[in-house]
Chains A and B, each alone.
Chain A
């Protein structure tokens, strides 16, 4: 509860700065900021992406973890789980195959919505870590009042958001056969 509240309260750019201070400046494990393309080598590429990814993802991961927990608790208390246990199904099979699959629908919804939050967060985090991504492009074009670029990037983000949510909707059917639409 306290941890979740802390997660909501930390602004992403502050989390990024503090992580940078700890892992790059004090421990010296990772580069401070910047970006190296994949052509520079996979390991180097990932090294530069690790901190921004943690900065952006940590809070969302906490939210998804909370959702998973409450959803799994609901499912695990159901009778068919008891039946599965009584049949002597292995614990792992019960949890992953019987319970998780049924608990996954609300989790998937949260994951889809997370995408929008991540894009918005990326705008600030990219500036913190000096990554030449779409977020920095937006900020630069806003400050230069380059309307064509603003329109283009916002449209791209909107389309990809819709696309991600389409995939999420399609995945509902894959996970839960009862939701499939054109079932004959």
Chain B
């Protein structure tokens, strides 16, 4: 009787120790995240831009579509913080609402490519026959310059926000699938996967239970890059007139409108440009920071 009680007490303290350890580990992880300047800077800027985008109707006094023909091309002032464009629309509202477009497109492309890339990458790493087919297909898509491919897809489908997302998903998924596949191939050759197979584990369990969690770090890093690249390509597409259709505000659209009046209205180029640059820079910072955090080797290689 005594011994059983002792065992129970022991296991109690053991589970308590485990709990403490996991709390300690989490605290250590949070400390490491906060010590990483790149993650903090990138995260704070991105958070700030998302806040602006989220509360766009509260922050802006004017509608991004409101035409004031008497106020055409006004320089930045107290009422129009970023000035007005060649139709008399408030640039600040347009930039803020443009942030919505860019962020929504960036986030949805990042999430969809993450899912598609994860599926294709994992299964082509696990089944070699599928690999030959899928990866040649991916090679074909990646052979085109990404902007050119996106333009071609947009030309076929027509300029619409949802089509921009579809085009970007088609352009970016092969890249993500590649990264997932190469990471998964390394995991797949490990001895413990072999042991799982020998025990008769199903392919589903090996792929999702054991390979997928281990490639998650490289997927997360890649996804932050997809996020920033899709914001760049969306802006470029809108700038070329193949992205978000004209009256809707988007950073690329404002830059395109600004180009024709670049002599008289510098504010139409500088402000949306600054926002685009900040958004892309901060998500790249975030990505680099996460990579350094998750992969100690890259720390030295980059300095």
Contacts and interface: CB of A to CB of B under 8 A. Distances in A.
Contact of B276 (A11, A117, A139, A150): A11
Nearest to A135: B148
Interface string A3-41: 001101111011001101100011000001000000000
A120 B147 contact: yes
Interface in B148-182: 148, 151-152, 155
A120 B145 CA distance: 5
Contact of A138 (B146, B148, B269): B148
Interface string B255-271: 10011001100100110
B277 interface: yes
B236 interface: yes
A9 B232 CA distance: 9
Contact of A143 (B228, B242, B288): B242
A145 interface: yes
Interface residues on A, range: 20 to 34
Contact of A11 (B145, B235, B303): B235
Interface residues on B, range: 20 to 34
A32 B302 CA distance: 37
Given A13-B255, A17-B255, A145-B155, A120 B148 contact: yes
Contacts of A143: 155, 241-242
A8 B239 contact: no
A44 interface: no
B281 A9 contact: yes
A128 B262 contact: no
A63 interface: no
B115 interface: no
B151 A139 contact: yes
A64 interface: no
Interface in A96-128: 116-117, 119-120, 123-124, 127-128
B41 to A, nearest CB: 10
A11 B232 contact: yes
A14 B277 contact: yes
Contact of B262 (A25, A116, A142, A154): A25
Interface string B282-303: 0011001000000000000011
A1 B155 contact: no
Contacts of A18: 269-270, 273
Interface in B134-154: 144-148, 151-152
5 contacts: A17-B255, A21-B269, A32-B263, A123-B148, A138-B151
Interface of B: 144-148, 151-152, 155, 228, 232, 235-236, 239-242, 255, 258-259, 262-263, 266, 269-270, 273, 276-277, 280-281, 284-285, 288, 302-303
Q: 8 tightest CB-CB pairs across the interface, nearest first? A: A120-B145, A9-B281, A9-B280, A11-B232, A142-B155, A14-B273, A17-B269, A9-B284
Interface of A: 1, 5-6, 8-11, 13-14, 17-18, 20-21, 25-26, 32, 116-117, 119-120, 123-124, 127-128, 138-139, 142-143, 145, 150, 154
Given A21-B269, A128-B239, 15 more contacts: A5-B281, A5-B284, A5-B285, A10-B277, A11-B276, A14-B235, A14-B277, A17-B258, A17-B269, A32-B263, A123-B145, A123-B147, A123-B148, A128-B259, A138-B151
